[in-house]
Chains A and B, each alone.
Chain A
Amino acid sequence: MKSATFRIWRGNAEGGEFKDYSTEISEGMVVLDAVLQIQAAEANDLAVRWNCKAGKCGSCSAEVNGNPRLMCMTRMDTVPTDQPITIEPMQTFPSIRDLVTDVSWNFKVKQGIPPFTPRPADAPDGTWRMQQRDVNRVQEFRKCIECFLCQDVCHVLRDHRKHGEFIGPRFLVYAAALEMHPLDVADRVEALAEADGIGYCNITKCCTKVCPEEITITDNALIPLKERVVDRLYDPISKLLRLFR
């Protein structure tokens, strides 16, 4: 059976170091399997967050060889084993211990976004009517599992630490799902431009690349929202047309 070396970050908010562990790799294994194998055999105190092992809970987000990935969805046969495989916690969020980070900032951000606000019901029984075509567009955004890999890779948060001024791609997708919903009537555009800092996004598409649900974050959510901000704040013709509507 083949063996591989894993260089795993051990530490907490105060600091830490990488430690090497070797474990046997068999066909069909994913990185999370190897990490749990190491935890069971060599490092019983290794902190790692995981739950479904099926790429749907978004718990086992980490950085595998520097790339933000779900460990449960990273097959070992896609990772070179001729050199140590680096496993680190997400860099954008504070470390709690080992591979576990404190992602509570995200939940606070979500609370600041105006929730779904439907128009008055279309029918006397309190129901609405929507066309499938109109709902299809926002369905893509609802695939999000909140793994926060997009937040982790976004350089505005990761390198520039703009957590106080920018809500990040995850919550721009969330805002897009609400803002583009055919029933929703809340207005989030000015908040997107100011408090949410959508202008900080410089369209590097890193968020789209790391999304395990393959949501087209940049093209289908961020840029359409940026265009709505342009409509509202920067396009004089749009402003003029609004006066006559």
Chain B
Amino acid sequence: MPTIAAPVRRFGETSRCDAWWVQPLVVAAGLGLFVVYSTWAAFQGEYYHSGPYLSPFYSPELFGDSPHAWFGPKPAVWPAWLPWSPAFLILGVPVGFRLTCYYYRGAYYKAFWADPPNCAVGEPRGSYLGEQSFPLIIQNVHRYFMYLAVVFIGLLAHDAWKGLWFTDPATGVTSFGVGVGSLVLMINVTLLGGYTFGCHSLRHLVGGRSDQLSAATPLRQSTYDCVSCLNRRHMLWAWMSLVWVGFTDVYVRMCAMGIWTDFRLL
């Protein structure tokens, strides 16, 4: 292909007269706040469960001290010098899924790397590799995180189900009920499901890869249509689920610390 040489604009240089810097600033603030809070919450290693509720930052709890732990307490082989939290074992999956998500990639390249700062605004660097070579070529691993994220949706749905069963501390009897926390967990898995099942990689794998989807089974065609429908609002699902998963951790934490009371609706 022929090349075209032309003067390149300096960082931030643009003829745009609108507030182009607001969008990347809001994205940087939103993502930055979430990263700071979720890192802090993951390092706490306590106040992550309350009654039947388990914080999504700690689910599935493979090892830990709560009744939700699958395999008992912290493994003895865990090095003493290494900080411990049940969240460390599982947070890589949702973090990897969001980090390699097509929507978030575009958003954080703009917000944190100014590549570009916004559309038609000059950039700080002259060199550019994009996702064509190392290191960002690794972003192509996204579909593998998606496979794991789908499994996590099932696990979080199970958590939401368990959040409907309350044990009476006096009698030890477990009965069905609905608390505010039950609704918080159900909304959480719904929003995360909307985000995960609208994934671009999933859309490709369930039907997008085929040029003759009409030859596929009706179930596969419907699945592709559903995923495409969710995919149209992928950004909205991404933000709603991000905010709510953070809030869900806050809710469980506040209840566990006794600062908030979980009101029973049923």
Chain A positions 61 through 84: 1 when the CB is less than 8 Å from some CB of chain B, otherwise 0 = 001011110000000000010010
Q: B residues within 8 A CB of A229?
A: 140
> How near does chain A come to B26, taking the closest CB pair, in angstroms?
16
Given contacts A131-B214, A203-B105, A204-B109, contact A159 B122 (CB under 8 A): yes
* Interface 9-mer from A31-39, A46-54, A150-158: A150-158
* A interface residue count range (under 10 / 10 to 19 / 20 to 34 / 35 or more): 35 or more
Report the Cα distance A205→B116, complex, angstroms: 11
Indicate if the CB atoms of A223 and B102 lie closer than 8 Å.
yes
Stretch at the interface among A22-30, A86-94, A140-148: A86-94
Given the complex, which residues of A lie within 8 Å of B221, measured CB to CB? 133
Given contacts A94-B4, A159-B9, contact A134 B200 (CB under 8 A): no
Expressed in whole angstroms, the minimum distance between the Cβ of A173 and any Cβ of chain B is: 15
A55 at the B interface (CB under 8 A): no
CB-CB under 8 A from A203, the residues of chain B are 102-103, 105-106, 109
Q: Please, which residues of chain B bring their CB within 8 A of the CB of A200?
A: 128, 130-132
0 or 1 for each of B199-240: is its CB under 8 Å from A? (1 = yes): 011011100110111110000010000000001101000000
Chain B interface extent, by class: 35 or more
Interface membership of chain A positions 179-204, coded 1 if the CB is closer than 8 angstroms to chain B and 0 otherwise? 11110100000000001010111111
Taking a contact as CB atoms closer than 8 A, the residue among B1, B102, B103, B106 that contacts A109 in the complex is B1
Contacts of A219 in B (CB 8 A): 200, 231-232, 234
Q: A65-B17, A200-B132, A202-B105 are in contact. Are A91 and B119 (CB under 8 A)?
A: no
B3:A163 contact, CB within 8 angstroms: yes
Q: Which chain B residues border A109 with CB–CB below 8 Å?
A: 1
Ranked nearest first, the 8 interchain pairs of A and B with the lowest CB-CB distance are A199-B132, A66-B15, A66-B16, A131-B214, A206-B119, A227-B204, A200-B130, A203-B106
Q: Which residue of A lies closest to B1 (CB)?
A: A164
Asked whether A231 and B200 contact (CB < 8 A) given A197-B132, A202-B106, the answer is no
Give B residues with C-beta under 8 Å from A.
1-6, 8-9, 14-18, 102-103, 105-106, 109-110, 115-116, 119-120, 122-123, 126-128, 130-133, 136-137, 140-143, 200-201, 203-205, 208-209, 211-215, 221, 231-232, 234
- B1 close to A134 (CB less than 8 A): no
Could you tell me the distance between the alpha carbons of A134 and B2 in the complex, rounded to whole angstroms? 35
Residues of B contacting A202 with CB < 8 Å? 105-106, 109, 115, 130-131, 136
Once the chains are docked, how many angstroms separate the CA of A202 from the CA of B5? 22
Q: A86 near B15 (CB under 8 angstroms)?
A: yes
Query: Are A156 and B140 closer than 8 Å at their CB atoms?
Result: no
List the B side residues contacting A165 at CB < 8 Å: 1, 132
